[in-house]
Copies of this chain bind each other. A is one copy, B any other.
Amino acid sequence: MSVPQPVRSPRRRAPRNTLNPDRILDAAIALLDRDGAEAFTMRALAEELGVATMAIYSHFRNKDEISDAVAQRLLDGIELPCGGALAPRCELREVCLGVHRLFTEHPSALQLLTSRPLRGDDAIGVIDRMLALLRRSGLSAKDAVRAQVTLMQYIVGSALWSIRRSRALCEEGARERVRAKFDALSPERYPTLTSLAPELMCAQEDAVAQFEWGLDHLLCGLLAGQGPPED
């Protein structure tokens, strides 16, 4: 017969070197993807790793340092199209879609990213790639930089919007509530909005199509007058 154990922590002492920064980041991303940003807790992360909370502090100074490392890791892992196979404009489009896909696949990571101050070294590889493609499309140095920032801002804003929408839509009876709100609006005060209610309802549904529509028009504006479109 064994000695009665305390109910809460039947965990034995973890052997040395069970932990390392990589294992911690893997667990952090898994936790974020599975349970969301608000569940991303030092205590929950430790449990995920089968370890005492304070063990993590041997590898990272604090939670912010983990958040930064998670963002870094994800941004470095963006899958990009192989270079040169496409016209610059098409390749640029694919890169933007890749970044957007990463954000919508790891929504909690995006939340993390947008709530912390921006370090200069995020997503270096992607930025270089975008700048090169913009230059090859005929933009000046100054315009290429402006355009790259504009694209990134649109991608982030769009992904954030999609996440919030999809979270709102998966609540119980959300569609009915939205429809009811539209029906309650005064057509005198909001004539255009009420007349476009059907289009508004259905535009919310497919976030990717919405993103691509906006991206194509944005690219059109950014690359206008840079030679004939190459498609």
Which one of B118, B155, B182, B220 contacts A157 once the chains associate, using CB atoms below 8 Å?
Answer: B155
A72 to chain B, nearest CB (A): 13
A227 at the interface (CB under 8 A from B): no
Q: When the two chains form their complex, are residues B153 and A214 in contact, meaning their CB atoms are under 8 A apart?
A: yes
A144 at the interface (CB under 8 A from B): yes
A39 at the interface (CB under 8 A from B): no
Q: When the two chains form their complex, are residues B214 and A150 in contact, meaning their CB atoms are under 8 A apart?
A: yes
The residues of B that contact A149 with a CB separation of less than 8 Å are 161, 203, 210, 214
Which one of B119, B156, B178, B182 contacts A160 once the chains associate, using CB atoms below 8 Å?
Answer: B156
A39 to chain B, nearest CB (A): 14
A86 at the interface (CB under 8 A from B): no
Q: When the two chains form their complex, are residues A132 and B192 in contact, meaning their CB atoms are under 8 A apart?
A: yes
Interface range for A: 35 or more
Q: When the two chains form their complex, are residues B221 and A150 in contact, meaning their CB atoms are under 8 A apart?
A: no
Q: What number of copies of this chain does the assembly contain? A: 2
How far does the alpha carbon of A160 sit from the alpha carbon of B23 in the complex, in Å? 31
Which one of B124, B160, B181, B213 contacts A146 once the chains associate, using CB atoms below 8 Å?
Answer: B213
The residues of B that contact A128 with a CB separation of less than 8 Å are 189-193
Q: When the two chains form their complex, are residues A167 and B117 in contact, meaning their CB atoms are under 8 A apart?
A: yes
A141 at the interface (CB under 8 A from B): yes
149-195 of chain A: CB within 8 A of chain B? 149-150, 152-158, 160-161, 164-165, 167-168, 171, 177-178, 181-182, 185, 189-193, 195
The residues of B that contact A219 with a CB separation of less than 8 Å are 221
A28 at the interface (CB under 8 A from B): no
A174 to chain B, nearest CB (A): 9
How far does the alpha carbon of A171 sit from the alpha carbon of B117 in the complex, in Å? 10
Would you give 21 A-B contacts (Cβ < 8 Å), ordered by A?
A117-B167, A117-B171, A118-B164, A120-B168, A120-B178, A124-B190, A128-B190, A131-B193, A141-B199, A144-B196, A145-B199, A146-B203, A147-B214, A147-B217, A149-B161, A149-B214, A150-B214, A152-B157, A157-B158, A218-B218, A219-B221
